[in-house]
Structure 1
């Protein structure tokens, strides 16, 4: 899997004029899940700052009960408050982890910024322990720039 090739495909999806932002986000989730072997669940959560909650906007993978997450709760909720990337090599080592599936072993969450404000995030779950690298972080930051331009 080459992140550079995927960047081209993500940009093509983002550039489709006829699709809505949500359908483009879903297509990006599906692309990443299909093409990156250790991305087992991919989703975008969008922030509601008034209610201090994250809301699942688009995803690919098994459905989740975690469609609304309070700021501060779980990895996603922590990223909503910290505005920083969060890579969890082994979810068993995290006290504030929300279990979505017994198969999840690791997670990466990258905040999504628009005009300097954290408006959401991309969340990736993996059934592998410690698969995420700096290359994943850089690639997902690129993906979020593309998504922010849609919103």
Structure 2
């Protein structure tokens, strides 16, 4: 299934009349099930007024990394930089938090609501260097649609 085919499905899920967490979990599950190299998909959000992220909805193996301090790991760096971070090879990253021995690559895209970085979508892959600019653009689309239900 192409990203263009997934976009209307994402919109439909996010418009459902169920709790936000349920919708976000459905988005994570859809992405994990339909994109072959998306092995773990989750949303991290700023944890109230603390300089840390807290895991929200996700699909994939449970992780011990429920809280991530700003600046630590790929997710923590995105919380500070406000920029997408594509990691083709996690072993080449000094500031990487290993969630699974199978993870080879990661992409993290910040989620903005009214110009403020409130969280991010994080995707781990068991495939080396799978992410392209097309993934980045698609995940920016997903986050823009998520932002609409968080405003």
TM-score normalised by the chain length of structure 1: 0.98
Matches within 5 A, 1:1-151: 1-16=1-16, 18-48=17-47, 50-151=49-150
Structure 2, unaligned stretches of length 5 or more?
none
> Shift in Å at residue 117 of structure 1?
0.2
What is the Cα deviation at residue 48 of structure 1? Answer: 2.6
**What is the distance in 1 between the residues matched to 2:145 and 2:18?**
14
Deviation at 1:87, TM superposition (A): 0.0
Q: Structure 1 residue 50: deviation in Å? A: 2.1
Q: Tell me the TM-score normalised to structure 2 length.
A: 0.98
Q: Deviations over 1:36-74 (max 9, x none)?
A: 000000000001362101000100000000000000000
Q: Distance in 2 between matches of 1:79 and 1:41?
A: 18
Displacement after TM superposition at 1:150 (Å)? 1.2
CA distance in structure 2 between the aligned counterparts of 1:66 and 1:48, rounded to whole angstroms: 13
The runs of 4+ residues in structure 1 deviating greater than 3 Å are none
**SS of alignment partner, residue 127 of structure 2:** coil
Deviation digits for residues 87-124 of structure 1, max 9, x if unmatched? 00000000000000000000000000000000000000
Q: In 2, distance between residues paired with 1:60 and 1:147?
A: 16
- Which runs of no fewer than 5 residues in structure 1 stay unpaired? none
What is the distance in 2 between the residues matched to 1:9 and 1:67? 28
